[in-house]
Amino acid sequence: MKKLISCGIAAALSLILVSCSKRDSGDAHKHDHDHKPAHKHEPHNHGTDEKDHDHDHEEDRKSKKDQTQKQEGKSEETILSLTPEQREMIQLKVSNAAPGQQENLLRLDGEIRYNLEKTAKVMPRLPGFVSRVDAVEGQTVRKGEILAVLQSQKLGELYSDYHANKELEALNLSEFRIAEKLRAKDAMSEIDYLKAKRQYADTQIARRRAEAILTALNLNPAHLPHGCRLGQKSEAPVCTEYEMKSPLDGIVVVRDITPGETYAEDNTKPSFIVADTRELWLELRARQEDLPQLRVGQEVKANLGRGFAEYNGKIAFISPEVNEATRTALVRVLLDNTDGKLKPGLFAVGMVRLESSSHSLLVPRAAVQEVGGESVVFVPHDGGFVAVPVKIGRFDRDFGEIVSGLKEGDEYVSNGAFELKSMIVTAGMDPHAGHGH
């Protein structure tokens, strides 16, 4: 809206300037016509003196012509004159050029991804059929929370094996202690004593093996899981319910399991994917020429566009190889997502903060405009403003570097340059008329 208003203002101002330009041109033409008789000379003959006089007159006329052309070149330069009201309307501001330190940023495109170091795939490690599913997609779960329950005959066998070996171990321990007492009284041969000792050791090994298998399944043999059926005192408990639990705090991002589904012993399909989304990855792609400027630990600003806040992070990983297809290398940034607004799959722009550049002459980006295929800034001149060509350097989000065309301390238009450019474009003026004369 502001640009539309500005262009309208510029158009109106341009009409005024064109009108004034035509009127001045007409006055100048009339003034030349009125003065033509003053340059008329009467014929005369003075021989050699006449030739010398004509030669002197010709040189004087050339000198006056050159001076006139210089003056005309100065007057032909497009000067944009604005009234105080017009300046206020476009909020025109004049500043002095000054040096500053430019922020050195490298732009890399990328995408938000799950932090795989805080993501877990959950699947049953035993065969069985699904009797209950407790978790759904999008649900927040805690570490150890039950996601689903399977009925597994294999689990019942493992628990039975463990308890049988545990009871056999206790029995063999009693027999071994009796053998120790008999051997102490020399009432048992050495061979029988060693047999009793070996039997006890064998049952210890068997019990430990059964215990290790249960422990590998994240089951504590010392504590019976929920759903175990206890038999008579002489019978071992029956445990067939296998509980699938979340290995971390996070959100269930994938659920691929239904009640009644049967899992084979060689299953490799994940039933759930749980991710801690409080910290995500921003995966950027860096070109070959950008890699020498990047290192682990550099600060990165992630910009996801309108509606998103700016996120800050640091480079945590730079791939040691370049993708053969894209000729780019992976650069991974850790981003804090405690507000939960970042979603994996979103496109983002990463601005990597490089070493700060040296002090150079800086102006606001809006102060530099392109007119006639070249970069210009507007400077005060004869009560108005003229476009001055400049050579520009590196630009960041807010400022641009001026290499030449403007010196430290020079006045320039820091706000309102776009409106002045619009006046030139709308009126069809040449911003550098008279240059090169």
The confidence score (pLDDT) of residue 20 equals 43
405 neighbors 43 (Cβ within 8 angstroms): no
The SS3 of residue 248 is coil
The model's pLDDT over 357-414, given as tens digits with 9 standing for 90+, comes to 566 889 999 999 998 889 999 999 988 999 999 999 877 778 888 999 999 999 999 9
Helix axes 417-427, 2-34, angle to 10 degrees: 50
The SS3 of residue 265 is coil
Task: From 380, 360, 358, 376, select the one nearest 368 (Cα to Cα).
Answer: 376
354: CB partners within 8 A, 6+ apart: 104, 105, 106, 293, 298
Q: Which residue has the tokens 């064998």?
A: 202
> 10 Å Cβ neighbour count for 256?
12
279 neighbors 334 (Cβ within 8 angstroms): yes
Residue 9 region by backbone torsions, left for phi larger than 0, else alpha for psi between -120 and 50, else beta: alpha
135: CB partners within 8 A, 6+ apart: 141, 145, 147, 148, 246, 252, 255, 272
Amino acid at 251: I
Determine the Cα–Cα distance for residues 303 and 112; give it in Å rounded to an integer.
Answer: 11
Q: What is the pLDDT along the chain (437 residues), one digit of tens a residue?
A: 444 444 445 445 544 444 444 444 444 444 444 444 444 444 444 444 444 445 455 555 554 444 444 334 433 467 888 889 989 999 999 999 998 877 778 899 999 999 999 999 999 999 999 999 999 999 999 999 999 999 999 988 898 899 899 999 999 999 999 999 998 999 999 999 999 999 999 999 999 999 999 988 888 887 776 666 655 555 566 788 899 999 999 999 999 999 999 999 889 999 999 999 999 999 999 999 899 989 999 999 999 988 899 999 999 999 999 999 999 999 999 999 999 999 999 999 999 988 765 668 899 999 999 988 899 999 999 889 999 999 998 777 788 889 999 999 999 999 999 999 998 888 766 555 544 43
Determine the Cα–Cα distance for residues 322 and 325; give it in Å rounded to an integer.
Answer: 9
Amino acid at 334: L
Tokens of 260: 């009644």
127 neighbors 267 (Cβ within 8 angstroms): yes
63: CB partners within 8 A, 6+ apart: none
In terms of Cβ atoms closer than 10 Å to its own Cβ (0-12, 13-18, 19+), residue 60 is exposed
The confidence score (pLDDT) of residue 53 equals 47
The SS3 of residue 267 is coil
The confidence score (pLDDT) of residue 227 equals 61
